[in-house]
Amino acid sequence: MNTTNIYISSHDHRLLSHLIVGVSGKNDTIDRLRGELARAIVLDATAVPATAVGLNSRVELEDLDTGEHETYVLTLPAAADPDQARISVLAPVGTALLGYRVGDVIEWPTPGGIRRLKLHQVTREPATPPPAAG
């Protein structure tokens, strides 16, 4: 796992802590998210570096093994939508991105093997409410 400091707002930390409490059973992604939250430097939202990935951040990254460039918005599970490149924080890559900053290289296990990702850009987006139940 990575040893780079990660920065999370107290708001995101609180939301994610509540999210993982509701998950039962053995789940590797939840365990990894729990570990990331435990090691995170938790700050007031105004003190989190602007280049750090949080919920509702648009991220541009590069897979260092394939050279592929990808763009995602990191969301809570209810707002995830692969067709809109909105990735859940509970997806392996979503968990991996949380708290890292532009320029960081992240090595993270995924179902397809270890991915090495370089974070190129982070833009904060306004929060999107989850879709209405229909």
Question: Residue 61: its pLDDT value, please?
Answer: 95
Angle of helix 28-39 relative to helix 10-21, nearest 10 degrees? 150
Q: Is the pLDDT at 116 greater than 60, yes or no?
A: yes
Token couple for 96: 């991996």
**Which of 4-13, 27-36, 50-59 is the least confident region?**
27-36
Residues near 52 by beta carbon (within 8 Å), at least 6 away in sequence: 6, 7, 8, 99, 100, 101, 122
How large a percentage of the chain has pLDDT more than 90? 69
Question: Residue 60: its pLDDT value, please?
Answer: 97
Rounded to the nearest integer, the mean pLDDT of the chain is 88
Confidence of residue 132 (pLDDT cuts 50, 70, 90): low
Tell me, yes or no, if the pTM score tops 0.95.
Answer: no
Q: Give the tens place of pLDDT for each residue, 46-67.
A: 999 999 999 999 999 999 999 9
Token couple for 37: 């939250």
Question: Residue 4: its pLDDT value, please?
Answer: 80
Fold of 7-124: Chitinase A; domain 3 (3.10.50)
The mean pLDDT value for 80-106 works out to 93
Pairing of strands 57-63, 113-124: antiparallel
Q: Is the pLDDT at 133 greater than 60, yes or no?
A: no
Q: Is the pLDDT at 131 greater than 80, yes or no?
A: no
